[in-house]
């Protein structure tokens, strides 16, 4: 009887351990049937939820391609299925890893120096000045290392990053000269992800090698790795493969496709490749530069490239010579994501496990799907290590209330009309009752607890923030473990304040215009004061017209890309608006003059004079508002 009780107890313990093993213990990555079943089920669910027609994936480990498979379709109309070996997807900014690998090849050959001023390699000059600063004497030169670390300090630019046809693509050097963004942060201070900076590095590859970037990569990376189904040429040339995936957006119950996304500075996102070819690239990096007897980097150079090259805080992940560091479940990864308008991709290497994963989706709304995939994959096969992040007993914790407020990511535009996009990148940071930081970033809610003085950590996502308290005892910047910084939004960057200001101006214009127009037709009023009444009426309605016209331009979006045409192609209407908008400051001068005259009119009530002055002040504010948005440029 006693033995039976012991046996039953042992059986219950065994069953319990088997139950929890599925979630607590690592699954065997080399059990290929189980691996395939995991991906089959995962993608079936994701493709339905995120409306994705096709996915391609490859997994490598210990020098071999462990798994590769295509899911769904790359051409819905003709029922053509994705093949991991032959179907080309567009991995977007994953392309940049080929820029950085090329740069490290040239470093290895002694042809470039990562710490050299990039102007030494260019045939045009990057000005040594920061926008808005009067004194630029102490400005540091931009180096190649700054480009690799995305801390050169350039503002972001969206305009003409993508174009609508092959005919609109300019030579790389011409594009870089014509579309140079302003420097807005000191070089080396903070990461602000930059497509322009990456394109500069690709152009340096062209200048030093004497080949186009596409030719250089084909000769020095694709051929040694036998990546025969990969190209940077746009569109994909004949002879590579006929299976180039279309891209899709699910709109009003049906899929709409786009043939090809043309990227102006093509090295930063123009790659077309298969999951199999990307597996070869991952294997070469995991094998310290070697693949099947060929080499793209020496082991020493590969080791240097994979090491951390910049971080915002010594506790944080950062950059690794172009790779973006991540830490998930206690494992250091070197990665790069890629997002075009319609493709969403990711390449993830875990050097200590000699494992890599590449995935690409051909649906517009799949960015979150990509992020969920890599986390689910690691949770299943590489569960969380015992946490080394613990709560410090340091009594110097900062007051979390200092952090509350609205922030804007530093990857924004400051000096052109594109600065309007920052109003749509506001991050609101709040505190919960336990004084944890709560904020939403890229659709994911983060809850961070202070673990050291000013260091906040999210145990679920692994995200960290560092809040630096300045000399005035304020927190105006939040340093992250990604290639960006959150900066406190000023009052004039608050979208609600801007919207309220415009709404008040429009309402007041309509009310006062109705009143003044009505008075102009009253026979009982002897003196009409046409100038005093018509000036604000004309100013007000012209302003409303300009606001409506600019709103139309920013709301006129590409039906598939879901971005304003203004960012994709030239606009004659925009050019005319920014020319004729100068009539507003001219009219404002007249309005200021009529406002002075109003105060000398004895027949006007004091309340009418005050309202007129308030409207004049609002009108001056409107002119400043256009100027602040860089729509009125002096």
Tell me the pLDDT band of 10, cut-offs 50, 70 and 90.
very low
Strand partners, 61: 64, 355
Q: Quick one: 191 and 303 in the same domain?
A: yes
Question: Which DSSP letter does residue 119 get?
Answer: G
**Residues 427 and 441: beta-carbon distance below 8 Å:** yes
Q: Is the model's pLDDT at 22 over the cut of 60?
A: no
Q: In angstroms, how far is CA 558 from the centroid of its own chain? A: 19
* Residue 390: inside a domain: no
Tell me the pLDDT band of 21, cut-offs 50, 70 and 90.
very low
* Residue 4: inside a domain: no
Question: Which DSSP letter does residue 244 get?
Answer: B
User: What's the pLDDT tens digit per position in 240-251?
Assistant: 878 999 999 999
Tell me the pLDDT band of 385, cut-offs 50, 70 and 90.
confident
* Residue 316: inside a domain: yes
Domain that holds residue 507: 494-628
How many CA atoms lie within 13 Å of 419's alpha carbon, on the beta-carbon side? 20
- Helix and strand numbers, DSSP H then E, in the chain: 15, 22
Q: Quick one: 434 and 575 in the same domain?
A: no
- Owner of token pair 């186009």: 212
What is the Cα–Cα distance from 46 to 360, expressed in whole angstroms? 13
Considering its fold, how many domains does the chain have in total?
A: 3
How many CA atoms lie within 13 Å of 577's alpha carbon, on the beta-carbon side? 21
Which of 247-251, 468-472, 505-509, 558-562 has the lowest average pLDDT?
A: 468-472
Q: Is the model's pLDDT at 158 over the cut of 60?
A: yes
Quick one: which of 104, 32, 69 has its CA closest to 276? 69
Which of 109-123, 511-525, 528-542, 619-633 has the lowest average pLDDT?
A: 511-525
Q: Is 571 helix (H, G, I), strand (E, B) or coil?
A: coil
Q: Is the model's pLDDT at 446 over the cut of 90?
A: no
Q: Is the model's pLDDT at 440 over the cut of 90?
A: no
What is the Cα–Cα distance from 216 to 25, expressed in whole angstroms? 45
pLDDT (0 to 100) of residue 390: 55
Strand partners, 358: 58, 347
Which residues, other chains included, contact 360 with Cβ-Cβ below 8 Å and sequence gap of 6+?
Answer: 55, 56, 57, 89, 90, 91, 275, 338, 343, 344, 345, 346
Which of 14-23, 127-136, 145-154, 441-450 has the lowest average pLDDT?
A: 14-23
What is the Cα–Cα distance from 145 to 218, expressed in whole angstroms? 24
290 Rama sector, left if φ>0, alpha if ψ -120 to 50, beta otherwise = beta
* Residue 28: inside a domain: no
Q: Quick one: 467 and 511 in the same domain?
A: no
What is the Cα–Cα distance from 604 to 31, expressed in whole angstroms? 88
Percent of the chain with pLDDT over 90: 83
Alpha-carbon dihedral sign for residues 436, 437, 438, 443? negative
Q: Quick one: 466 and 582 in the same domain?
A: no
* Residue 459: inside a domain: yes
What is the Cα–Cα distance from 284 to 296, expressed in whole angstroms? 7
Which residues, other chains included, contact 32 with Cβ-Cβ below 8 Å and sequence gap of 6+?
Answer: 66, 67
CATH number of domain containing 58: 3.40.710.10
Given 440, 457, 490, the domain boundary residue is 490
* Residue 414: inside a domain: yes
Alpha-carbon dihedral sign for residues 56, 60, 65, 67? negative
Q: In what order do the strands lie in the sheet with 319-320?
A: 80-81, 64-75, 54-61, 355-361, 344-350, 331-339, 323-328, 319-320
- Average pLDDT (584-589) is 98
Given 490, 523, 557, the domain boundary residue is 490
pLDDT (0 to 100) of residue 392: 55
Six-digit token pair at 106? 């040239």
Question: Which DSSP letter does residue 272 get?
Answer: B
Quick one: which of 79, 53, 61, 57 has its CA closest to 70? 57
- Average pLDDT (476-485) is 91
Q: Quick one: 512 and 606 in the same domain?
A: yes
* Residue 129: inside a domain: yes
Q: What share of residues in the chain are helix, strand, coil (percent, to 5)?
A: 40, 20, 40
Given 472, 490, 508, the domain boundary residue is 490
| 97 CB neighbour count, 10 Å cutoff | 26
Q: Is the model's pLDDT at 9 over the cut of 50?
A: no
Q: Quick one: 485 and 514 in the same domain?
A: no
Instruction: Please confirm whether the linkage preceding 252 is cis (ω < 30° from 0).
Output: no
What is the Cα–Cα distance from 578 to 420, expressed in whole angstroms? 15
pLDDT (0 to 100) of residue 461: 78
User: What's the pLDDT tens digit per position in 306-352?
Assistant: 999 999 998 899 999 999 999 999 999 999 999 999 999 999 999 99
- Average pLDDT (198-221) is 99
* Residue 603: inside a domain: yes
- Owner of token pair 């002096």: 634
Largest CA distance in the chain: 116
Q: Quick one: 469 and 336 in the same domain?
A: no
Q: Quick one: 459 and 512 in the same domain?
A: no
The whole-chain average pLDDT of the chain stands at 92
Question: What DSSP string describes 37-59?
Answer: HHHHHHHHHHHHHTT-SEEEEEE
Quick one: which of 576, 581, 573 has its CA closest to 539? 581
Q: Quick one: 521 and 475 in the same domain?
A: no
Q: Quick one: 367 and 479 in the same domain?
A: no
pTM recorded for the entire structure = 0.92
pLDDT (0 to 100) of residue 462: 81
CATH number of domain containing 474: 2.40.128
Q: Is the model's pLDDT at 221 over the cut of 50?
A: yes
Q: Quick one: 151 and 101 in the same domain?
A: yes
Which residues, other chains included, contact 393 with Cβ-Cβ below 8 Å and sequence gap of 6+?
Answer: none
Roughly how many angstroms between the first and final C-alpha of the chain, as a whole number? Answer: 95
Tell me the pLDDT band of 14, cut-offs 50, 70 and 90.
very low
Q: Quick one: 481 and 364 in the same domain?
A: no
């Amino acid at each position: 009887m006693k033995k039976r009780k012991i046996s039953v107890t042992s059986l219950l313990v065994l069953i319990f351990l088997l139950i929890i093993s599925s979630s607590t213990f690592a699954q065997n990555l080399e059990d290929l049937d189980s691996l395939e079943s995991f991906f089959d089920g995962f993608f079936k669910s994701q493709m339905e939820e995120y409306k994705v027609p096709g996915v391609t994936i490859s997994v490598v480990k210990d020098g071999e391609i462990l798994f590769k498979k295509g899911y769904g379709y790359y051409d819905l109309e003709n029922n053509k299925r994705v093949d991991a070996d032959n179907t080309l997807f567009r991995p977007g900014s994953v392309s940049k890893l080929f820029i950085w690998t090329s740069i490290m090849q040239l470093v290895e050959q002694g042809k470039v120096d990562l710490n050299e001023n990039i102007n030494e390699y260019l045939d045009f000059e990057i000005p040594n000045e920061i926008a808005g600063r009067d004194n630029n004497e102490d400005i540091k030169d931009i180096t190649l290392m700054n480009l690799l670390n995305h801390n050169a300090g350039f503002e972001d630019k969206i305009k003409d990053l993508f174009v609508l046809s092959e005919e609109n693509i300019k030579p790389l050097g011409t594009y870089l000269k014509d579309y140079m963004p302003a420097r807005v942060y000191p070089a080396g201070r903070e990461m602000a992800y930059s497509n322009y900076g990456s394109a500069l590095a690709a152009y340096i590859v062209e200048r030093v090698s004497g080949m186009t970037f596409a030719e250089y990569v084909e000769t020095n990376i694709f051929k040694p790795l036998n990546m025969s189904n990969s190209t940077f040429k746009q569109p994909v040339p004949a002879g590579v493969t006929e299976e180039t995936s279309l891209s899709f957006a699910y709109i009003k119950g049906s899929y709409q496709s786009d043939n090809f996304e043309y990227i102006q500075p093509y090295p930063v996102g123009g790659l077309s490749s298969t999951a199999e070819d990307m597996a070869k690239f991952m294997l070469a990096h995991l094998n310290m530069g070697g693949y099947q007897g060929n080499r793209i980097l020496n082991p020493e150079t590969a080791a240097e490239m994979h090491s951390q090259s910049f971080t915002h805080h010594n506790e944080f992940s950062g950059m690794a010579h172009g790779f973006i560091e991540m830490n998930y479940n206690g494992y250091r990864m070197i990665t790069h994501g890629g997002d075009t308008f319609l493709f969403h991709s990711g390449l993830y290497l875990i050097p200590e496990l000699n494992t890599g994963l590449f995935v690409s989706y051909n649906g517009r709304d799949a960015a979150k799907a990509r992020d969920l995939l890599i986390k689910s994959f690691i949770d299943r096969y590489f569960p969380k290590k015992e946490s080394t992040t613990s709560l410090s007993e340091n009594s110097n914790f900062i007051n979390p209330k200092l952090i509350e407020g609205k922030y804007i990511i530093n990857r924004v535009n400051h000096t052109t009309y594109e600065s309007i996009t920052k109003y749509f990148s506001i991050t609101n940071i709040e505190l919960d009752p336990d004084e944890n930081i709560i904020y939403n970033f890229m659709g994911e809610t983060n809850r961070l607890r202070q673990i050291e003085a000013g260091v906040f950590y999210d145990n679920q996502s692994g995200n960290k923030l560092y809040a630096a308290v300045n000399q005035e005892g304020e927190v105006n910047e939040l340093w992250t473990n990604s290639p960006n910084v959150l900066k406190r939004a000023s009052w004039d960057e608050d979208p609600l304040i801007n919207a309220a200001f415009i709404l008040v101006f429009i309402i007041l214009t309509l009310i006062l215009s109705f009143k003044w127009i009505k008075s102009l037709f009253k026979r009982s009023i002897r003196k009409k004061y046409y100038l005093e009444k018509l000036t604000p009426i004309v100013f007000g309605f012209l302003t409303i017209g300009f606001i409506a016209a600019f709103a139309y331009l920013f709301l006129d979006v590409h039906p598939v890309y879901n971005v304003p045409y203004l960012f994709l192609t030239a606009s004659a209407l925009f050019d005319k608006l920014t020319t004729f908008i100068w009539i507003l400051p001219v009219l404002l001068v007249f309005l200021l003059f009529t406002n002075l005259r109003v105060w000398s009119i004895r027949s006007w009530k004091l309340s009418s004079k005050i309202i007129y002055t308030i409207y004049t002040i609002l009108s001056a504010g409107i002119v400043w508002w256009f100027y602040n948005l860089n729509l009125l440029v002096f």
